[in-house]
Amino acid sequence: MKILKSSSGEDEKNPAKEIFDRGIELYEKGDFEEAVSSFTKAGEMGFRKDSVENNLGACYEQLGRFSDARAHYGAALLENPRNAPALKNMATSLLFDGLWFDAEKLFSKALWLDPYDSETRLGLGTCLLRLKDVKRGIKTLRPIFRKSPSIQMVLKAMHELGDAGAYESLYDLSIGLPEDFRKNDEILMFMGKAALEVGLHADALELFKKLNSRSKSAANKSWLALARIANNDQEIGMALLDEARREEPDDPEVLQNLVFALHGSDMLDEAIPIYRKLLSLSPDDWILWNNLGNALYNLGRYEESIPKFVTSLEKNPDYEIAWNNIGNALEKMGLYRDSIPYHKRAMEIDSDFDYAHHAEADALYLLGRYEEADKAISESLSLGTVCAESWILKAKITMRTSPESAFDYAEMAAELDPESPEPFLLLSICHELSGSPEEAERMLRKAQALAEASDDDEMQKTIEEIRRRGLSAILKMLNIGQDIGEATEDMARYDCIDSAGSFYTDGMRLVDKGDLNGARALFRKALSFDPDSASATAALIRLENDRSNRKKYISNGLKIRAKGISTADLEESLRGRR
């Protein structure tokens, strides 16, 4: 907080000035209670009211009496609306409470009155960045990098740009700093991190080499290791990380960089114990909880991942990525309908979260709600996503009614990810449905070659089925003409499906249609593939009419509970049927 000092032009023998100056001395010594008494007395003796009120506000801020502080800043501004320090102090107080919009207005006015005040400029830039006005935020902070006499002020600006994800601007602005600034270890660290983020891997390597030559520590070594890995020197990078961990086994920064390298290299089994170690050091870190869940999810341990995402949300209920990840895990478990509210919650928090729109569209597509899926995926694409999977889904949805129109979407996906077999498989299907069998065969061979090159066994099976069964396999894959009918439906359509989730989802469709016999048959099929399916067990406990069979499913539910993988749905069914 900035306090106002008396002017040298004022009467030096003025008793009020002497008491006011005494208040400043006490403030600077940290004796805020006594400073309050001095400023109050100076005000009673007729000293300038706006200065007295501002300084009282600064004292109360230091004493933790924030509402009193704001009341005094407000009184100062009523007396003199052009009091730049009072404007800045009030804005800073609001900024600390996350009232960025109100703070931005006051900082703007204070900067207009005093355009050379770097603290005010930093405050305004911070507000703009947190209000997602990144372009104006960068423009506001730029002069700090050009003119600031203080390394600490530059570091604060770098921190705000980093938090806003403006790494490219952070790096570009840092390049123009004076040479003596760029010798500072913290500035070198910021520059190296920014270079890694924007893909300037060679620059990052040089910066971290320089940092390690100046300041040897396990943490700095771990950053050099990440730069090595980014420059395709995996062996040396991992060896450096091992060295850093041996030197400082409990250093959170070393552990963070180690787990980042392991996770990024798909060494997920090795990453999980490091995540657990980090969480023992930082149990309230919601990002770590989410990332642990993500590692379990990528290992196919979907039910285990969900409690980690939930814990992340207990630490930060507005963390949209964790909400969306719960939805993703439920989808992988075949609970497509249950996943949708989680994707929607993620979008409520961040309406521009393109992948949440994509994930919702994927769930709707798998539920057969194609019009809704098309709307959701179109929203994702309108947000400028460059994700090939979104274009693939758009092609699948469109192909059901207009194979000719799906060409463009499949081609876009192939352009974005030319190493993926799926866009070429879709192009093959487009040609097949459009009556161009030779071109269809050419695209199918391309898809098969890519699937073999990437060891994509699932895609190779799909291609083999299409070659064996032709158009009927294509229609089945796209869910065209495959509405589920009565209980007597031929179960042969499921011969090549090996997912309990697929049977469960189709069983729930039959429940919606009132076909309980058919639903029970599919839920039983789900259990034959996965005896630990909590969802299928819960459904059978609710729907089974035969007493002995129901006892069997209750017993299975109790076994699932004992394994620690029960769900709220299963628990409710057990309570209702015991």
pLDDT at 493 over 70: no
pLDDT tens-digit profile of 39-91? 999 888 888 899 999 999 999 999 999 999 999 999 999 999 999 999 999 99
Rounded mean pLDDT of the chain?
86
- The contacts of residue 454 (CB under 8 Å, 6+ apart) are 419, 420, 421
Q: Does domain 386-478 have CATH number 1.25.40.10?
A: yes
Query: What was the pLDDT predicted at 532?
Result: 81
Angle at 267 between CA 261 and CA 271, to 5 degrees: 70
Mean pLDDT of 312-330: 94
Q: Does 433 score more than 70 pLDDT?
A: yes
Give the DSSP H/E element, type plus range, for residue 94: helix 84-96
- State in words which class domain 499-577 has: mainly alpha
Cβ contacts of 453-458, under 8 Å, gap ≥ 24: 453/419, 454/419, 454/420, 454/421, 456/421
Q: CA-CA distance, 11 to 247, in Å (whole number)? A: 63
User: Do 1-82 and 386-478 agree at the fold level?
Assistant: yes
Taking the alpha carbons at both ends of the chain, their separation in whole angstroms is: 64
Is pLDDT above 60 for 9?
A: no
Helix 151-163 vs helix 134-147: crossing angle, to nearest 10: 160
Tell me the per-residue pLDDT of 106-165, one tens digit each, with 9 for 90 and over.
999 999 999 989 999 999 999 999 998 999 999 999 999 987 678 899 999 999 999 988
Domain ranges for the chain: 1-82, 283-382, 386-478, 499-577
Q: How many CB atoms lie within 10 A of CB 564?
A: 9
More confident residue, 561 or 469: 561
d(Cα 363, Cα 483) in Å, to the nearest integer? 17
Question: Tell me, what's the pLDDT at 474?
Answer: 63
In this predicted model, what pLDDT tens digit does every residue of 151-205 receive, in sequence order?
899 999 999 999 988 999 999 999 888 888 888 999 999 999 999 999 999 999 9
Q: What is the CATH number of domain 283-382?
A: 1.25.40.10
- For 276-300, how does the pLDDT look when each residue is reduced to its tens digit (9 = 90+)? 999 999 999 999 999 999 999 999 9
Class of the CATH-defined domain 1-82: mainly alpha
Return the pLDDT at 191: 94
Ordered DSSP codes for 294-313: HHHHHTT-HHHHHHHHHHHH
pLDDT of residue 527: 83
